[in-house]
Chain A
Amino acid sequence: MDYDPMAMDDAESLGPVVKISQADSVRVKFELSNADLAFANSLRRVMLGEIPTVAIDLVEIEANSSVLADEFIAHRLGLIPLNADGVESLLYSRECDCDEYCEHCSITLNLHAKCVGDENMHVYARDMVPSGDRINQTLGTPVIVDPEGNGPLILKLRPGQEIKLQCIAKKGIAKEHAKWAPSAAIGFEYDPHNKLHHLDLWYETDPKAEWPPSEYADWEEPPQEDEPFDYDAVPNRFYFNVETAGNLPADAIVTEGIKVLQQKLAGMIHELTEGEGDGANGDYNGPRSPEYNNAGDGWQDQGYTTPYGNGGAQSSWGGAGGATPYGQTPYGGQTWS
Protein backbone atom coordinates (compact mmCIF):
# COMPACT_ATOMS: atom_id res chain seq x y z
CA MET A 1 0.00 0.00 0.00
CA ASP A 2 1.67 3.08 -1.19
CA TYR A 3 0.00 6.13 0.15
CA ASP A 4 0.55 8.66 2.80
CA PRO A 5 -2.34 8.76 5.23
CA MET A 6 -1.27 12.17 6.39
CA ALA A 7 -1.24 13.84 3.01
CA MET A 8 -4.20 15.98 2.24
CA ASP A 9 -6.35 15.49 -0.79
CA ASP A 10 -4.56 18.20 -2.68
CA ALA A 11 -1.50 15.97 -2.48
CA GLU A 12 0.80 18.30 -0.65
CA SER A 13 2.57 15.52 1.17
CA LEU A 14 3.90 17.79 3.85
CA GLY A 15 2.07 16.15 6.66
CA PRO A 16 0.68 18.17 9.50
CA VAL A 17 2.29 21.46 10.50
CA VAL A 18 2.22 23.11 13.92
CA LYS A 19 2.83 26.80 14.49
CA ILE A 20 2.81 28.36 17.93
CA SER A 21 1.75 31.98 18.27
CA GLN A 22 1.68 32.31 22.04
CA ALA A 23 2.91 30.21 24.92
CA ASP A 24 3.16 31.16 28.58
CA SER A 25 2.31 29.72 31.95
CA VAL A 26 -1.42 30.09 31.34
CA ARG A 27 -2.03 29.25 27.71
CA VAL A 28 -0.65 27.99 24.47
CA LYS A 29 -2.06 29.15 21.16
CA PHE A 30 -1.14 27.17 18.10
CA GLU A 31 -2.22 26.48 14.58
CA LEU A 32 -2.47 22.93 13.31
CA SER A 33 -2.53 22.88 9.55
CA ASN A 34 -2.55 20.27 6.82
CA ALA A 35 -4.59 18.06 9.07
CA ASP A 36 -8.16 16.89 8.88
CA LEU A 37 -11.08 18.28 10.85
CA ALA A 38 -11.76 14.82 12.27
CA PHE A 39 -8.29 14.56 13.75
CA ALA A 40 -8.22 18.14 15.02
CA ASN A 41 -11.55 17.60 16.71
CA SER A 42 -10.36 14.37 18.31
CA LEU A 43 -7.45 16.26 19.75
CA ARG A 44 -9.76 18.93 21.10
CA ARG A 45 -12.11 16.38 22.64
CA VAL A 46 -9.37 14.37 24.24
CA MET A 47 -7.77 17.47 25.79
CA LEU A 48 -11.12 18.52 27.20
CA GLY A 49 -12.26 15.29 28.67
CA GLU A 50 -9.76 12.49 28.97
CA ILE A 51 -6.48 13.67 30.45
CA PRO A 52 -5.95 12.23 33.94
CA THR A 53 -5.41 14.75 36.74
CA VAL A 54 -6.04 14.76 40.49
CA ALA A 55 -8.91 16.39 42.35
CA ILE A 56 -10.46 16.08 45.78
CA ASP A 57 -12.97 13.27 45.67
CA LEU A 58 -13.70 12.46 49.29
CA VAL A 59 -14.06 14.85 52.21
CA GLU A 60 -14.22 13.67 55.79
CA ILE A 61 -15.53 16.50 57.92
CA GLU A 62 -14.69 16.46 61.59
CA ALA A 63 -15.90 19.90 62.58
CA ASN A 64 -17.78 22.54 60.68
CA SER A 65 -19.31 25.42 62.53
CA SER A 66 -19.09 27.76 59.58
CA VAL A 67 -22.22 29.08 57.90
CA LEU A 68 -21.73 26.83 54.90
CA ALA A 69 -23.18 23.33 54.70
CA ASP A 70 -20.81 20.35 54.59
CA GLU A 71 -21.72 19.38 51.04
CA PHE A 72 -21.35 22.94 49.83
CA ILE A 73 -17.79 23.05 51.16
CA ALA A 74 -17.08 19.59 49.76
CA HIS A 75 -18.15 20.75 46.35
CA ARG A 76 -15.92 23.82 46.54
CA LEU A 77 -13.00 21.70 47.63
CA GLY A 78 -13.50 19.37 44.68
CA LEU A 79 -13.12 22.26 42.26
CA ILE A 80 -9.77 23.47 43.62
CA PRO A 81 -7.07 22.77 41.01
CA LEU A 82 -4.35 20.51 42.36
CA ASN A 83 -0.94 20.06 40.86
CA ALA A 84 -1.01 16.97 38.63
CA ASP A 85 2.72 16.66 38.11
CA GLY A 86 3.39 12.94 38.30
CA VAL A 87 -0.19 11.61 38.04
CA GLU A 88 0.99 8.92 35.69
CA SER A 89 2.52 7.14 38.70
CA LEU A 90 -0.69 7.40 40.70
CA LEU A 91 -3.15 4.52 40.41
CA TYR A 92 -6.85 4.94 39.81
CA SER A 93 -8.48 4.18 43.13
CA ARG A 94 -10.77 1.60 41.52
CA GLU A 95 -7.72 -0.26 40.19
CA CYS A 96 -5.81 -0.20 43.46
CA ASP A 97 -5.60 -3.18 45.77
CA CYS A 98 -6.41 -1.19 48.85
CA ASP A 99 -9.81 -1.17 50.54
CA GLU A 100 -10.64 2.48 50.47
CA TYR A 101 -7.65 4.59 49.54
CA CYS A 102 -3.94 4.55 50.15
CA GLU A 103 -0.79 6.45 49.17
CA HIS A 104 -0.67 4.61 45.83
CA CYS A 105 -4.02 5.92 44.70
CA SER A 106 -4.66 9.11 46.65
CA ILE A 107 -3.23 12.20 48.27
CA THR A 108 -4.46 13.38 51.64
CA LEU A 109 -4.86 17.07 52.42
CA ASN A 110 -5.79 18.39 55.85
CA LEU A 111 -7.52 21.62 56.61
CA HIS A 112 -7.93 22.95 60.08
CA ALA A 113 -8.79 26.58 60.78
CA LYS A 114 -10.42 28.37 63.65
CA CYS A 115 -11.18 32.06 63.82
CA VAL A 116 -9.77 33.26 67.12
CA GLY A 117 -9.52 36.98 66.33
CA ASP A 118 -12.25 39.59 66.28
CA GLU A 119 -12.43 39.78 62.54
CA ASN A 120 -13.73 37.35 59.96
CA MET A 121 -11.12 34.91 58.81
CA HIS A 122 -10.53 33.86 55.23
CA VAL A 123 -9.63 30.23 54.59
CA TYR A 124 -7.68 29.73 51.38
CA ALA A 125 -6.41 26.75 49.42
CA ARG A 126 -2.91 27.52 50.73
CA ASP A 127 -4.15 26.46 54.18
CA MET A 128 -4.56 22.89 53.04
CA VAL A 129 -1.66 20.75 54.21
CA PRO A 130 -0.72 17.60 52.32
CA SER A 131 0.14 14.73 54.60
CA GLY A 132 1.47 11.22 54.29
CA ASP A 133 3.67 9.71 51.62
CA ARG A 134 3.43 11.21 48.19
CA ILE A 135 4.83 10.24 44.82
CA ASN A 136 6.58 13.59 44.70
CA GLN A 137 6.45 16.81 46.61
CA THR A 138 4.21 18.64 44.17
CA LEU A 139 1.56 16.09 43.25
CA GLY A 140 -1.73 17.07 44.89
CA THR A 141 -0.59 20.44 46.19
CA PRO A 142 -3.15 23.19 45.56
CA VAL A 143 -2.30 25.37 42.58
CA ILE A 144 -1.47 28.90 43.73
CA VAL A 145 -0.84 31.53 41.09
CA ASP A 146 -2.13 34.77 42.59
CA PRO A 147 0.47 37.36 43.66
CA GLU A 148 -0.54 37.12 47.34
CA GLY A 149 0.04 33.39 47.29
CA ASN A 150 -3.35 32.55 48.74
CA GLY A 151 -4.95 30.39 46.12
CA PRO A 152 -8.72 30.09 45.83
CA LEU A 153 -10.85 31.26 48.75
CA ILE A 154 -12.63 28.25 50.25
CA LEU A 155 -14.78 29.89 52.93
CA LYS A 156 -14.89 32.59 55.58
CA LEU A 157 -15.16 32.07 59.35
CA ARG A 158 -16.77 34.37 61.89
CA PRO A 159 -15.06 34.72 65.26
CA GLY A 160 -15.30 31.43 67.13
CA GLN A 161 -16.17 29.32 64.09
CA GLU A 162 -14.05 26.36 63.14
CA ILE A 163 -13.49 24.05 60.20
CA LYS A 164 -11.62 20.78 60.41
CA LEU A 165 -11.59 18.25 57.64
CA GLN A 166 -9.55 15.77 55.67
CA CYS A 167 -9.62 15.66 51.88
CA ILE A 168 -8.77 12.64 49.77
CA ALA A 169 -7.64 13.60 46.28
CA LYS A 170 -7.86 10.93 43.62
CA LYS A 171 -6.95 10.48 40.01
CA GLY A 172 -9.69 10.86 37.42
CA ILE A 173 -10.72 12.32 34.08
CA ALA A 174 -13.05 15.16 33.18
CA LYS A 175 -15.41 12.84 31.34
CA GLU A 176 -16.38 11.59 34.78
CA HIS A 177 -16.47 14.97 36.50
CA ALA A 178 -15.38 18.39 35.27
CA LYS A 179 -13.27 18.94 38.38
CA TRP A 180 -10.64 16.72 36.73
CA ALA A 181 -10.40 18.93 33.65
CA PRO A 182 -6.84 20.15 33.12
CA SER A 183 -7.98 22.97 30.88
CA ALA A 184 -10.00 25.96 31.93
CA ALA A 185 -10.95 26.44 28.29
CA ILE A 186 -10.01 25.21 24.87
CA GLY A 187 -10.54 27.52 21.95
CA PHE A 188 -11.00 25.76 18.65
CA GLU A 189 -11.57 27.63 15.44
CA TYR A 190 -11.18 27.28 11.69
CA ASP A 191 -12.20 29.11 8.55
CA PRO A 192 -12.34 32.63 10.07
CA HIS A 193 -14.07 34.08 7.02
CA ASN A 194 -16.73 31.37 7.03
CA LYS A 195 -15.97 30.53 3.41
CA LEU A 196 -17.12 26.98 4.00
CA HIS A 197 -20.48 28.13 5.35
CA HIS A 198 -20.17 25.85 8.37
CA LEU A 199 -21.63 28.76 10.29
CA ASP A 200 -24.91 30.46 9.60
CA LEU A 201 -24.45 33.93 11.03
CA TRP A 202 -27.51 35.64 12.39
CA TYR A 203 -27.81 39.30 11.39
CA GLU A 204 -30.11 42.31 11.33
CA THR A 205 -29.04 43.77 8.03
CA ASP A 206 -25.42 42.88 7.30
CA PRO A 207 -23.42 40.09 8.97
CA LYS A 208 -20.11 41.72 7.97
CA ALA A 209 -20.93 44.88 9.88
CA GLU A 210 -22.47 43.18 12.86
CA TRP A 211 -20.02 40.36 13.57
CA PRO A 212 -16.53 41.25 14.78
CA PRO A 213 -13.77 39.64 12.72
CA SER A 214 -12.04 36.63 14.24
CA GLU A 215 -8.58 37.21 15.67
CA TYR A 216 -7.39 34.85 12.93
CA ALA A 217 -9.09 36.76 10.12
CA ASP A 218 -5.79 38.30 9.05
CA TRP A 219 -4.17 34.90 8.82
CA GLU A 220 -6.28 33.77 5.93
CA GLU A 221 -7.21 35.25 2.60
CA PRO A 222 -10.62 36.95 2.77
CA PRO A 223 -13.08 35.85 0.11
CA GLN A 224 -13.14 37.81 -3.11
CA GLU A 225 -16.14 39.90 -3.95
CA ASP A 226 -18.77 37.52 -5.41
CA GLU A 227 -16.49 34.56 -5.12
CA PRO A 228 -18.36 31.40 -6.12
CA PHE A 229 -18.84 28.82 -3.40
CA ASP A 230 -16.28 26.05 -3.54
CA TYR A 231 -18.10 22.79 -2.96
CA ASP A 232 -14.89 20.80 -2.66
CA ALA A 233 -13.25 22.97 -0.04
CA VAL A 234 -12.49 21.40 3.33
CA PRO A 235 -11.09 23.05 6.46
CA ASN A 236 -7.35 22.75 6.66
CA ARG A 237 -6.08 25.16 9.30
CA PHE A 238 -7.18 24.85 12.91
CA TYR A 239 -6.54 27.39 15.62
CA PHE A 240 -6.28 26.07 19.16
CA ASN A 241 -6.16 28.13 22.30
CA VAL A 242 -5.47 25.89 25.29
CA GLU A 243 -5.79 27.56 28.67
CA THR A 244 -4.74 25.60 31.73
CA ALA A 245 -6.47 25.54 35.09
CA GLY A 246 -3.00 25.32 36.60
CA ASN A 247 -2.74 21.60 37.32
CA LEU A 248 -0.75 20.87 34.16
CA PRO A 249 1.34 23.27 32.06
CA ALA A 250 -0.58 24.37 28.98
CA ASP A 251 1.80 22.68 26.56
CA ALA A 252 1.65 19.47 28.57
CA ILE A 253 -2.12 19.42 28.05
CA VAL A 254 -1.50 19.17 24.31
CA THR A 255 1.13 16.47 24.53
CA GLU A 256 -0.78 14.55 27.18
CA GLY A 257 -3.92 14.78 25.07
CA ILE A 258 -2.18 13.16 22.12
CA LYS A 259 -0.76 10.57 24.48
CA VAL A 260 -4.23 9.62 25.68
CA LEU A 261 -5.33 9.25 22.08
CA GLN A 262 -2.37 7.01 21.39
CA GLN A 263 -3.07 4.89 24.43
CA LYS A 264 -6.60 4.37 23.16
CA LEU A 265 -5.23 3.25 19.82
CA ALA A 266 -2.58 1.04 21.37
CA GLY A 267 -5.24 -0.66 23.47
CA MET A 268 -7.31 -1.37 20.38
CA ILE A 269 -4.36 -2.66 18.39
CA HIS A 270 -3.41 -4.86 21.28
CA GLU A 271 -6.86 -6.35 21.35
CA LEU A 272 -6.92 -6.94 17.63
CA THR A 273 -3.54 -8.58 17.47
CA GLU A 274 -3.12 -10.41 20.72
CA GLY A 275 -2.80 -14.12 20.32
CA GLU A 276 -2.29 -13.69 16.62
CA GLY A 277 -0.14 -16.30 15.07
CA ASP A 278 -0.63 -19.11 17.51
CA GLY A 279 -2.73 -22.16 16.93
CA ALA A 280 -6.33 -22.08 15.95
CA ASN A 281 -7.23 -23.33 19.36
CA GLY A 282 -6.15 -20.12 20.87
CA ASP A 283 -3.50 -21.34 23.22
CA TYR A 284 -2.67 -17.91 24.46
CA ASN A 285 -3.00 -16.11 27.71
CA GLY A 286 -5.30 -13.39 26.60
CA PRO A 287 -8.66 -12.77 28.14
CA ARG A 288 -11.21 -15.46 27.53
CA SER A 289 -14.76 -15.94 28.44
CA PRO A 290 -15.82 -18.64 30.87
CA GLU A 291 -17.45 -20.63 28.07
CA TYR A 292 -14.19 -20.87 26.27
CA ASN A 293 -13.29 -24.34 27.41
CA ASN A 294 -16.27 -26.03 25.93
CA ALA A 295 -15.45 -24.38 22.63
CA GLY A 296 -16.95 -26.53 19.87
CA ASP A 297 -20.56 -25.67 20.47
CA GLY A 298 -20.38 -22.95 23.03
CA TRP A 299 -19.33 -20.11 20.85
CA GLN A 300 -21.43 -21.03 17.89
CA ASP A 301 -24.56 -20.33 19.83
CA GLN A 302 -23.44 -16.83 20.36
CA GLY A 303 -23.19 -16.11 16.72
CA TYR A 304 -20.48 -13.60 17.31
CA THR A 305 -16.89 -13.97 16.54
CA THR A 306 -14.10 -11.71 17.47
CA PRO A 307 -12.26 -9.60 15.00
CA TYR A 308 -9.21 -11.75 15.30
CA GLY A 309 -9.48 -15.10 13.69
CA ASN A 310 -8.62 -16.88 16.84
CA GLY A 311 -10.29 -18.78 19.57
CA GLY A 312 -10.55 -17.93 23.15
CA ALA A 313 -12.23 -14.63 23.07
CA GLN A 314 -15.81 -14.58 22.17
CA SER A 315 -17.87 -11.70 23.32
CA SER A 316 -18.55 -11.98 26.98
CA TRP A 317 -21.44 -9.58 26.88
CA GLY A 318 -23.03 -10.58 23.61
CA GLY A 319 -26.35 -12.23 23.95
CA ALA A 320 -27.93 -14.52 21.47
CA GLY A 321 -27.48 -14.23 17.76
CA GLY A 322 -27.76 -16.33 14.67
CA ALA A 323 -25.26 -18.85 13.54
CA THR A 324 -21.80 -17.70 12.75
CA PRO A 325 -21.84 -15.42 9.75
CA TYR A 326 -19.05 -17.31 8.04
CA GLY A 327 -19.69 -20.57 6.31
CA GLN A 328 -16.49 -21.96 7.67
CA THR A 329 -15.61 -21.24 11.23
CA PRO A 330 -12.83 -18.75 11.34
CA TYR A 331 -11.31 -20.88 14.05
CA GLY A 332 -10.89 -23.97 11.98
CA GLY A 333 -7.29 -23.22 11.21
CA GLN A 334 -8.40 -21.04 8.34
CA THR A 335 -7.96 -17.52 9.54
CA TRP A 336 -8.88 -14.85 7.11
CA SER A 337 -7.08 -12.04 8.71
Chain B
Amino acid sequence: MAPRSTRKKAVEEAPMEEEPTSHQPTAEDEDASMADADVDQEDGEEANPEDEEEEEDEEVQRVRILPGSTPTAASFEFLEEGHTLGNALRYIVMQNPDVEFCAYAIPHPSEAKMNVRIQTYEGTTAIQALEKGLRDLQELCDVVTDKFTVARDEFSNRMAA
Protein backbone atom coordinates (compact mmCIF):
# COMPACT_ATOMS: atom_id res chain seq x y z
CA MET B 1 0.00 0.00 0.00
CA ALA B 2 2.47 2.58 -1.05
CA PRO B 3 1.10 6.00 -1.85
CA ARG B 4 0.00 6.43 -5.39
CA SER B 5 2.68 7.49 -7.70
CA THR B 6 2.84 11.16 -8.41
CA ARG B 7 2.87 12.35 -11.94
CA LYS B 8 5.39 15.07 -12.43
CA LYS B 9 5.92 14.69 -16.12
CA ALA B 10 2.43 13.79 -17.09
CA VAL B 11 0.97 16.22 -19.51
CA GLU B 12 -2.29 14.40 -19.71
CA GLU B 13 -3.82 11.16 -18.83
CA ALA B 14 -7.07 9.44 -19.45
CA PRO B 15 -9.64 10.78 -17.00
CA MET B 16 -10.33 8.33 -14.22
CA GLU B 17 -9.12 10.03 -11.12
CA GLU B 18 -10.77 8.28 -8.24
CA GLU B 19 -8.88 6.45 -5.60
CA PRO B 20 -8.24 2.89 -6.61
CA THR B 21 -11.08 0.84 -5.30
CA SER B 22 -9.03 -1.43 -3.08
CA HIS B 23 -7.76 1.44 -1.16
CA GLN B 24 -9.80 3.59 1.11
CA PRO B 25 -9.44 3.70 4.85
CA THR B 26 -7.01 6.58 5.11
CA ALA B 27 -8.38 8.86 2.46
CA GLU B 28 -7.32 11.95 4.32
CA ASP B 29 -3.82 10.80 5.16
CA GLU B 30 -3.50 9.79 1.61
CA ASP B 31 -4.34 13.20 0.28
CA ALA B 32 -1.92 14.78 2.67
CA SER B 33 0.88 12.42 1.76
CA MET B 34 0.21 12.91 -1.91
CA ALA B 35 0.52 16.61 -1.51
CA ASP B 36 3.79 16.08 0.35
CA ALA B 37 5.03 13.71 -2.24
CA ASP B 38 4.43 16.25 -4.93
CA VAL B 39 6.61 18.74 -3.18
CA ASP B 40 9.31 16.21 -2.43
CA GLN B 41 9.46 15.06 -5.98
CA GLU B 42 10.44 18.48 -7.09
CA ASP B 43 13.68 18.57 -5.18
CA GLY B 44 14.81 15.01 -5.56
CA GLU B 45 14.13 11.40 -4.84
CA GLU B 46 12.84 11.72 -1.28
CA ALA B 47 9.23 10.67 -1.51
CA ASN B 48 8.67 10.70 2.24
CA PRO B 49 10.16 7.34 3.15
CA GLU B 50 8.53 7.34 6.58
CA ASP B 51 5.02 7.26 5.26
CA GLU B 52 5.82 4.50 2.91
CA GLU B 53 7.27 2.21 5.52
CA GLU B 54 4.41 2.75 7.89
CA GLU B 55 1.87 1.98 5.29
CA GLU B 56 3.57 -1.16 4.17
CA ASP B 57 3.36 -2.79 7.58
CA GLU B 58 -0.24 -1.95 8.00
CA GLU B 59 -2.47 -4.52 6.42
CA VAL B 60 -6.06 -3.43 6.51
CA GLN B 61 -8.44 -5.70 8.32
CA ARG B 62 -11.44 -6.14 6.07
CA VAL B 63 -13.85 -8.13 8.21
CA ARG B 64 -14.93 -7.24 11.68
CA ILE B 65 -17.71 -8.17 13.98
CA LEU B 66 -20.11 -5.43 14.96
CA PRO B 67 -20.93 -4.58 18.56
CA GLY B 68 -23.93 -6.31 20.09
CA SER B 69 -23.10 -9.66 18.60
CA THR B 70 -23.31 -12.92 20.48
CA PRO B 71 -21.76 -16.23 19.49
CA THR B 72 -24.86 -17.45 17.70
CA ALA B 73 -26.12 -14.13 16.37
CA ALA B 74 -23.54 -11.84 14.86
CA SER B 75 -23.26 -9.03 12.35
CA PHE B 76 -20.14 -8.75 10.28
CA GLU B 77 -18.88 -5.75 8.43
CA PHE B 78 -16.90 -6.28 5.24
CA LEU B 79 -14.89 -3.43 3.79
CA GLU B 80 -14.57 -2.98 0.06
CA GLU B 81 -17.14 -5.62 -0.71
CA GLY B 82 -20.56 -5.29 -2.25
CA HIS B 83 -23.37 -7.26 -3.85
CA THR B 84 -20.86 -9.41 -5.72
CA LEU B 85 -19.79 -11.18 -2.56
CA GLY B 86 -22.76 -10.29 -0.38
CA ASN B 87 -25.61 -11.92 -2.23
CA ALA B 88 -23.76 -15.10 -3.15
CA LEU B 89 -22.49 -15.44 0.41
CA ARG B 90 -25.97 -14.89 1.82
CA TYR B 91 -27.32 -17.60 -0.45
CA ILE B 92 -24.68 -20.15 0.44
CA VAL B 93 -24.87 -19.47 4.18
CA MET B 94 -28.63 -19.97 4.02
CA GLN B 95 -28.08 -23.44 2.60
CA ASN B 96 -26.50 -24.46 5.89
CA PRO B 97 -29.22 -26.20 7.94
CA ASP B 98 -27.66 -24.95 11.19
CA VAL B 99 -28.29 -21.38 10.15
CA GLU B 100 -31.51 -19.85 11.34
CA PHE B 101 -31.16 -16.53 9.53
CA CYS B 102 -28.81 -14.83 7.13
CA ALA B 103 -29.09 -11.52 5.32
CA TYR B 104 -26.81 -8.91 3.87
CA ALA B 105 -27.10 -5.18 3.37
CA ILE B 106 -25.17 -2.28 1.98
CA PRO B 107 -26.08 0.42 4.49
CA HIS B 108 -25.08 3.33 2.30
CA PRO B 109 -24.00 3.40 -1.34
CA SER B 110 -21.26 5.94 -0.77
CA GLU B 111 -19.53 3.83 1.86
CA ALA B 112 -17.73 0.75 0.56
CA LYS B 113 -19.13 -1.43 3.30
CA MET B 114 -21.26 -4.54 3.28
CA ASN B 115 -22.86 -6.05 6.36
CA VAL B 116 -23.85 -9.67 6.84
CA ARG B 117 -26.08 -10.86 9.67
CA ILE B 118 -25.95 -14.51 10.65
CA GLN B 119 -28.00 -16.24 13.34
CA THR B 120 -27.45 -19.90 14.01
CA TYR B 121 -29.11 -22.61 16.02
CA GLU B 122 -27.30 -24.04 19.03
CA GLY B 123 -24.35 -26.20 18.17
CA THR B 124 -22.53 -23.85 15.87
CA THR B 125 -21.55 -20.20 15.88
CA ALA B 126 -22.12 -17.38 13.49
CA ILE B 127 -18.40 -17.21 12.77
CA GLN B 128 -18.26 -20.90 11.96
CA ALA B 129 -21.25 -20.50 9.68
CA LEU B 130 -19.60 -17.58 7.93
CA GLU B 131 -16.38 -19.45 7.45
CA LYS B 132 -18.24 -22.48 6.20
CA GLY B 133 -20.17 -20.27 3.80
CA LEU B 134 -16.98 -18.85 2.37
CA ARG B 135 -15.53 -22.32 1.92
CA ASP B 136 -18.72 -23.66 0.36
CA LEU B 137 -18.71 -20.78 -2.08
CA GLN B 138 -15.11 -21.53 -2.96
CA GLU B 139 -16.05 -25.10 -3.60
CA LEU B 140 -18.93 -23.99 -5.79
CA CYS B 141 -16.52 -21.82 -7.77
CA ASP B 142 -14.20 -24.80 -8.19
CA VAL B 143 -17.04 -26.93 -9.50
CA VAL B 144 -18.21 -24.27 -11.94
CA THR B 145 -14.67 -23.72 -13.21
CA ASP B 146 -14.27 -27.45 -13.78
CA LYS B 147 -17.62 -27.76 -15.51
CA PHE B 148 -16.87 -24.77 -17.69
CA THR B 149 -13.43 -26.02 -18.65
CA VAL B 150 -14.78 -29.45 -19.55
CA ALA B 151 -17.66 -27.96 -21.54
CA ARG B 152 -15.30 -25.64 -23.41
CA ASP B 153 -12.88 -28.42 -24.30
CA GLU B 154 -15.73 -30.64 -25.43
CA PHE B 155 -17.10 -27.83 -27.51
CA SER B 156 -13.82 -27.09 -29.25
CA ASN B 157 -13.25 -30.80 -29.91
CA ARG B 158 -16.69 -31.03 -31.41
CA MET B 159 -15.96 -28.02 -33.62
CA ALA B 160 -12.61 -29.42 -34.71
CA ALA B 161 -14.10 -32.80 -35.60
Contact = CB atoms under 8 A, between A and B. Distances in A.
Contact of B47 (A15, A46, A99, A305): A99
B13 A17 contact: no
A39 B12 contact: no
Interface in A276-326: 286-287, 303-309, 313, 315-318, 321-322, 325-326
A38 interface: yes
B12 A59 contact: yes
A172 B23 CA distance: 13
B77 to A, nearest CB: 9
A50 B14 contact: no
B144 interface: yes
Interface residues of A, number: 92
Given A173-B21, A326-B70, A59 B139 contact: no
Contacts of B4: 93-94
Contact of B145 (A20, A258, A265): A258
Interface string B85-100: 1011011100111100
Contacts of B130: 272, 307
A172 to B, nearest CB: 8
Given A23-B155, A70-B12, A254 B134 contact: no
B125 interface: yes
A95 interface: yes
B147 interface: yes
Nearest to B71: A336
B151 interface: yes
Contacts of B39: none
Interface in B1-32: 1-16, 18, 20-21, 23, 25
B5 A100 contact: yes
A50 B20 CA distance: 12
Interface string A33-52: 00110110111011001100
B25 A57 contact: no
B140 interface: yes
A255 B2 contact: no
Interface string A92-124: 111111111100000000000000000000000
B91 A304 contact: no
Interface stretch (A74-82, A140-148, A199-207): A74-82
A179 B14 contact: yes
A18 interface: yes
Nearest to A97: B2
B60 A304 contact: no
A265 B62 CA distance: 12
Contacts of B105: none
B64 A32 contact: no
Interface of B: 1-16, 18, 20-21, 23, 25, 45, 47, 58-71, 74, 76, 78-79, 81, 83-85, 87-88, 90-92, 95-98, 125, 127-128, 130-132, 134-145, 147-152, 154-156, 159
Given A60-B9, A313-B61, 15 more contacts: A1-B97, A3-B95, A17-B147, A20-B154, A30-B151, A59-B14, A61-B11, A75-B14, A251-B152, A261-B137, A272-B127, A306-B61, A306-B64, A316-B58, A325-B70
